[in-house]
Chain A
Amino acid sequence: MDRKFTEDHEWLSVDGDVATVGITQHAQSQLGDLVFVELPQVGRSVSKSEAVAVVESVKAASDVYSPLTGEVVAVNDAVVADPALVNTDPENGAWLFKVRMASPSELDSMMDEAGYQQLIA
């Protein structure tokens, strides 16, 4: 299934009932150099649009929202150890967390890549 995008500049990649979530190239370039990432605990229940993670640049902290309701089943320890990965590889290697979806229909209203590119144009 093709990637989905949110208005909050997150991308999702779905495999079965698990969605991998990160922030977009556009988001990382707007934020600048990242120095700290805080991720949710594995096992935590999250709701769509809830602030569940934080990415911090030199200048400011920024919330990352869960695009879906469900349970956090994995987080990317590599980005906690090296926040700069989010700047260099935001849409692959620097994924942030994975959610087992409780309501897959939440995907239906999300943008595809073309829609997101229009948003940030």
Chain B
Amino acid sequence: MSALPSATVEAPLQRTPLYDLHREHGAKMVPFAGYEMPVQYAAGVLKEHLHTRTAAGLFDVSHMGQILLRPRAGSVEDVATALEQLVPADIVSLGVGRQRYTMLTNPQGGILDDVMVANSGDHLMLVVNAATKAQDEDHIRSHLSGACAIEPQPDRALLALQGPRAEAVLSAHDPGITSMRFMDIRAVRIAGADCVVSRSGYTGEDGFEISVPADAAVSLARALLSHEAVALIGLGARDSLRLEAGLCLYGSDLDGATTPVEAALEWSIQKSRRAGGSRAGGFPGADVVLAELASGPRRRRVGLRPEGRAPVRGGTQLFANAEGDTPIGTVTSGGFGPTLGAPMAMGYVDRAAAESGTRMFAAVRGARLPVVVAPLPFVPHTYKRG
């Protein structure tokens, strides 16, 4: 066998507050973004994935960065105005108790990281990717430290509870949860801990992301696990869930050379920030992004369904036909969808080839395997919208 995981000596890995809990539950731990994280538990990736779509999955995502932006003088509106210097979304009109998806951009219009921004009334709360949190903090400090105090929250953990039973589980601790809609955020006391809860996630399912003080994380996790519907879910299933949901992974599907328009994320750029809007542009790379909004990007992120049973993985080249040497695209994420029951992938293709139904060929192990451009998500979202 090749490619069996082997123990390699790396720089010392960090641990989240739930490390011992993961070990207690039989987790297989792997290095991820400088942390020792559970890739799966005894159930395995397939069962953990299916459990999340039928019951409630509990994920430790404490490795991600939580950063508060607090106004130095003035109000949270001033912080929002300042943050709009760094992101293409409308943050100024993001209401109190609401959250929005956006990205930090670079001067080429590429993506430095994708982030969630929430308005907590007297501050903004950002959740950023683990692998980029240090650079994100530096970037924000270098631009915004005049306008706001930038407060990373390393003493807070982050848990996600996702799936059709998540609401029932959480509302047993606070019945008010049932009034939350997708992308609402509020302070909630759960199992004796002061949490900040958003109705959002990375699985396509209805669910919640729960920020909790680090010293209360284990007792919160145990309280949630005491519900028979709840099971711990590892990063392996987190990845198959998000890919079925058509959601991007920074570092795979998004990077500094990819614009939000190429990434088919222009829905996150509200009208006020587009050409003709009241606060058009004004973020790094705005000229590139606004030009692509006007005339279309050169390439486009699409879903891909292999016609056979072999998965087609990230890094695979895509060709217009079975012979011929000019690639028309590249796969950026690929694997197998347990709910879909089939292989699935996402990648970027030339704009002319981006229409659903377009057939192309993936170069896999010396063969050209047929794949078809397919709409995303592969599995419908079940968000609880207004």
Q: Which A residues are CB-close (under 8 A) to B39?
A: 59
Residues of A with C-beta under 8 A to B44: 32-33, 87
User: Residue B1 contacts which of A10, A35, A38, A58 (CB distance < 8 angstroms)?
Assistant: A10
Q: A40-83: which residues lie under 8 A (CB-CB) from chain B? A: 51, 54-65
B1 x A23 contact (CB < 8 A)? yes
Q: Is B46 an interface residue (CB 8 A)?
A: yes
Contacts of B332 in A (CB 8 A): none
**What's the nearest-Cβ distance from chain B to residue A25, in Å?**
12
Select B3's contact among A36, A38, A61, A87, beta carbons within 8 Å: A61
In the complex, the answer to whether B336 meets A35 with C-beta atoms within 8 Å is yes
Bound-complex Cα distance A106 to B375 (A):
51
Interface string of B267-294 (1 = CB under 8 A from A): 0000000000000000000000000000
Q: Let me know if A32 and B311 touch, CB within 8 A.
A: no
Determine the distance from Cα of A35 to Cα of B44 in the docked complex, in whole angstroms: 12
User: Are the C-beta atoms of B40 and A32 separated by less than 8 Å?
Assistant: yes
Of all chain B residues, which has the CB nearest A63?
Answer: B2
Question: What mask results when residues 1 to 27 of chain B are scored 1 for a CB within 8 Å of chain A, else 0?
Answer: 111110000000000000000000000
Question: Is B338 interfacial (CB-CB < 8 Å)?
Answer: yes
> A30's closest neighbor in chain B, by CB?
B4
Whether the pair B236, A32 counts as a contact (CB closer than 8 A) is yes
How many angstroms from the CA of A100 to the CA of B345 in the assembled complex?
Answer: 38
Choose one: B3, B311, B335, B336; the contact of A63 (CB below 8 Å): B3
Contact A58/B309 with A63-B1, A63-B2 known, Cβ cut-off 8 Å: no
Contact, CB under 8 Å: B4 / A33 = no
Sample of 30 A–B contacts (CB below 8 Å): A8-B1, A23-B1, A31-B1, A31-B4, A32-B44, A33-B47, A35-B46, A35-B311, A35-B336, A35-B343, A36-B309, A36-B343, A38-B365, A56-B310, A56-B311, A58-B45, A58-B240, A58-B335, A58-B336, A59-B39, A61-B3, A61-B313, A62-B1, A62-B2, A63-B1, A63-B2, A63-B3, A64-B1, A65-B1, A65-B2
